[in-house]
Amino acid sequence: GQNIDQPTEMTATEGAIVQINCTYQTSGFNGLFWYQQHAGEAPTFLSYNVLDGLEEKGRFSSFLSRSKGYSYLLLKELQMKDSASYLCAVRDRYGNKLVFGAGTILRVKS
Amino acid sequence: NAGVTQTPKFRVLKTGQSMTLLCAQDMNHEYMYWYRQDPGMGLRLIHYSVGEGTTAKGEVPDGYNVSRLKKQNFLLGLESAAPSQTSVYFCASSYRRLAGGPIEETQYFGPGTRLLVL
């Protein structure tokens, strides 16, 4: 079976750092994606991990531990525009499909 | 490049009516997908296609049919709409993963279609 868990909501302050966790139990693993989705809009790609470790892209970083079935997305120097839903998705063993978590709604307050 | 486009953007149906949602992409992607997104449930895969003329079922295929007659288009059909199909529908596309090639092929999403079934 496939199971991906993320916190439902988080709130953080502008300028701060926030970490959004994702745990997964899937029948196969071929990479983990993070997407950002603003209200009423389409998801957009943020990061990708297939090997253990940290991937950094500007203010955003993503970490993966395959042995623990665990990933996190780290957002630094939070801005109001970072208020959005963050989706964790695992690609299946054949590389054809993504399984998505329910998403974490992040609210950034001033 | 328009990327991934979807028509219509919004539609209201009565129970039992039928309709077709159109997805088009101009990135020459092999793979195309249809998802539905409901509050608190994330994106769920309805059907997908790994190439022209091929389709496969996803997680929640019941009540939907699809066709991929042209590489750039992926159609989602509802033969007899039900209130449970009220949702936001997203289409996505991606490159085919090549053996030994780059594997960071993200999916690109269309803007979504909001469907209300009364």
**Residue closest to A69 by CA, chosen among A7, A20, A33, A22:** A22
Counting every residue written for chain B, the total comes to 118
Condensed to tens digits (0 to 9), the pLDDT of residues A27-84 reads 888 889 999 999 999 999 999 998 999 999 899 999 999 999 999 999 999 999 999 9
Q: List chain B residues with CB under 8 Å of A98.
A: 43, 45, 107
For residues B89-118, average pLDDT: 82
Residue A52 near residue A65, CB atoms below 8 Å:
yes
**Residue closest to B92 by CA, chosen among B104, B109, B75, B71:** B109
Look at A87 and B45 and tell me if their CB atoms are within 8 Å.
no
Which range of A27-31, A65-69, A96-100, B106-110 scores highest in mean pLDDT? It is A65-69
For residues B11-15, average pLDDT: 97
CB B64: neighbour CB atoms within 10 A?
Answer: 19
Q: Mean pLDDT over all residues of chain B? A: 92
| pLDDT, position B99 | 55
Whole-angstrom CA distances from A81 to A9, A13, A38, B59, B83 are: 16, 12, 9, 32, 34
Sorting pLDDT into bands at 50, 70 and 90, what band is B69?
A: very high
- B75 to chain A, closest Cα gap in Å: 18
Sorting pLDDT into bands at 50, 70 and 90, what band is B41?
A: confident
Position with higher pLDDT, B85 vs B98: B85
- B48 to chain A, closest Cα gap in Å: 8
- B109 to chain A, closest Cα gap in Å: 6
Sorting pLDDT into bands at 50, 70 and 90, what band is A85?
A: very high
- Reading the block at residue A93, the tokens are 């063993």
| pLDDT, position B95 | 82
| pLDDT, position B104 | 58
Closest chain A CA to residue B88: A40
For residues B28-34, average pLDDT: 94
Q: Does the structure show a pLDDT above 90 at B2?
A: no
